[in-house]
Each structure stands twice: as C-alpha cells, then as structure tokens.
Chains A and B, each alone.
Chain A
C-alpha cells in the first residue's frame, strides 16, 4: 500500500462500529502489519468507535497510511463534537475506568498502539489520534 491510502467512516449507528472494524482490519492488513498487530489495531478502533457512538453522539473515524524513514505505519483519528473529556491525563492513567478486568477505556487502547494523543475541549468535542508502526 502506498503512503497515500486513506479513508473515513462515519460513526452514527451501532452497525457503523462493525464497518469501522472491517475498514481498519483491511487497512492494517494492507499496510503489512502481522496478524497480532492487526488485531491490536482493530480492537483499539472498536473501543474508540463505540465510545464515539455511545458517549459522543456520533462522530467520524479517519485513517491513513503513514511513513517515516522507510517505516510504514497507520494513523487513526476519532473525532466527535461531544461533551469532551475534562481531564485527559486522568483518562489515560493506568487503572482508570472500570478496573474489573473488563472495562478498557483509553489506557487499554494506549497499550495496543505506539502513540495515542487526545485533544479535547469540554463542551466542544474530542479528537483522539492513534499511531502504530510496523516493526521493520
């Protein structure tokens, strides 16, 4: 896949979460990630897409192939106009969220990817950017 590949998925209904998973699966596979990494990326995307649907009133997921010094990777963005996250530092803390061995939240997604960045304004919306690189 050349670095110019990209796309987006509108997340407005419950079934869009599945579309997001399938789109990401194919994009990640095309980038050349191994099966375990594809699974990581798809799982993280599934969580964040569901968050968009459940807590932000919908949003959009954007993906694109990225390259740095010959290394290929994938970048995913989850953008919404929802309530925003008041304390992003807290939200990313390990052990935050449910902690019953079932909840995942952002700390879990962070463990599955190489870079995770949150930009959020209370009352305006949130943008979460994920990046994962192929191990060359």
Chain B
C-alpha cells in the first residue's frame, strides 16, 4: 500500500479526499503531505475527508488527521470528516478520541453542503 491509495480530487474549490479501508502507518502519514500540497496548488476552501471505508480508527490516525486539520485551518481552509462508521464512533468515544474541534458529517453529500454554506456554529443554544 502507498500514498496513491488516498485519492484527492478537486470538486469546485473543495478537496475531496478518500481514505482506503485499512491504511498502514506510512499511508496515513502521507495523507498530511498530499492534503497540504493540494491545498496550496488549488487554493481550496476546504477539505472533505471521506472515511466511510475506514474500519479502524486508532490514535495514530486520529492524531494525524487532527494535525492535518489544524494545518488546513492555518492555510485558510476548513476540514470536515465524513462518513464515520458507527462501530468506529463507539470505539473512538470509549477511548476518549474527540478529534478536537474538527467538524464531522454523516455523509460526503452533507459535508459538501456544509462547506459550501456558512460555517455552522457547534453551540446552538
């Protein structure tokens, strides 16, 4: 497996990044480089990270994604993680993975809706 198993597609001014089902550590590390260079090349407004195929989300993956999102923010973009599987969400919650302030969406469709509209404030009271 290598970095090519991560697909990065430009859709208008958004980057659609799709993760493979069980990426090894080098592939996960490659995610950061690929996303950031694509952000620069296309001057994208944001990144939608599709993890609907991902079966295991451990701390290494979570940390890399979180760092990448912070970097994307610094480059003026927004990151949305889409399609997390229920089993992954349950496990992640139990081990205390919160993914920080990264936004999440039920599906890639909804993520695209979110990115193309105003940023939704998490706190609605």
A39 and B90: CB pair below 8 A? yes
Within 61-84 of A, Cβ neighbours of B (below 8 Å) are at none
A14-B26 contact, Cβ under 8 Å, with A43-B95, A101-B98, A104-B95: yes
> Given the complex, which residues of B lie within 8 Å of A108, measured CB to CB?
59, 94-96
Contact of B90 among A25, A36, A101 (CB under 8 A): A36
State which of B39-47, B50-58, B106-114 sits at the interface with chain A. B50-58
Inter-chain contacts of A39 with B (CB < 8 A): 55-56, 87-88, 90-91
| Closest-CB distance, A29 to chain B (whole angstroms) | 11
Chain A residues with Cβ under 8 A from B58's Cβ?
43, 46-47, 50, 104
Q: Which residues of B contact A102 (CB under 8 A)?
A: 59, 62-63, 66, 97-100
Given A101-B98, A108-B95; A15-B60 close (CB under 8 Å): no
Size class of B's contact patch?
20 to 34
CA of A22 to CA of B24 in the docked complex: distance in angstroms?
A: 11
A42 touches B56 (CB 8 A): yes
Number of A-B contacts (CB under 8 A): 75
Q: Give the size category of A's interface with B.
A: 20 to 34
Residues of chain A lying within 8 A (CB to CB) of residue B59? 47, 102-105, 108
Other-chain contact of A40, B25, B60, B94, B99 (Cβ < 8 Å): B94
Question: Within 8 Å of chain B (Cβ to Cβ): is A17?
Answer: yes
Closest residue of chain B to A108, judged by CB? Answer: B95
Bitwise, B8-50 to A at CB < 8 A (1) or not (0) is 0000000000000010111000000000000000000000000
Distance of A77 from chain B, by nearest CB (Å) = 19
> Which residues of the other chain, B, contact A128 by a CB distance below 8 angstroms?
none
Task: Tell me the A residues contacting B by CB distance below 8 Å.
Answer: 14-15, 17-18, 21-22, 25, 35-36, 38-40, 42-43, 46-47, 50, 100-105, 108-109, 111-112
